[in-house]
Amino acid sequence: MPKKLMVVFLLLLIAGVAWGSDPRALRIEKFLNKFCPESPLKGRGEELVRYADDFGLDYRLYLAIAGAESGFGRRYPKKRHNLTGILNGESRFKSISDNIRYTNQLIAEGKWYRRYRESHDLMDLVVIFKAVPPYENYLRTLRFVLDGITEVSIEKEYRKLHPVGSPVDANAIRFDQVTPRRVIRTPK
């Protein structure tokens, strides 16, 4: 009897993971599939969303910075796992996951980013993170990624995971309304 219970438990656990997919992670994965299918960030959508939520940041922000700094991981110091160019690429991280966590924590808690946290103005972030002008191309890349992720349609993929009549009905979710706790405002 305990063996049957174990099997049922494992099936419920697997089903729970499939049903619990965050639509924001699906957006990230679909964006990466389109613009950088060879990125080492592929398959890390849930992780990007979780760390952003843990630190109260926009879930798209890390990916936008990694896009501007390393082309989503196409070019970065491999042994350093530094996709976001922390300390001009010189900082070492144990793993890409460690870089994701640290970058989110730095922006959420670092004293240099206080102005950005208060204003949510993307230029306030760029001036500190990039540090050296010109800022226009960097800002343009960040906007492209932030807007690109937002515009990704995930309805088809989400319906596969959550068919009509399932515990989470895709009709109950407006995909354009799934947003993080904080939204980045970009200057026009």
Asked if 50 and 57 touch (Cβ cutoff 8 Å), the reply is no
Tell me the domain boundaries of the chain. 22-177
- Looking at the predicted structure, is the pLDDT value of residue 72 above 80? yes
Q: List the one residue out of 38, 99, 104 whose CA is nearest residue 72.
A: 38
**pLDDT at position 90:** 78
Region 22-177: CATH code: 1.10.530
Asked if 99 and 81 touch (Cβ cutoff 8 Å), the reply is yes
Average pLDDT value for the chain? 80
**pLDDT at position 34:** 94
Half-sphere exposure of 59 (CA within 13 A, CB side): 23
- Looking at the predicted structure, is the pLDDT value of residue 172 above 50? no
**pLDDT at position 8:** 44
pLDDT in tens, 98-116: 999 999 999 999 998 999 9
pLDDT in tens, 12-66: 444 444 445 789 999 999 999 999 999 999 999 999 999 999 999 999 999 999 9
Confidence band, pLDDT 50/70/90 cuts, at residue 168 = low
Helix (H, G, I), strand (E, B) or coil at 29: helix
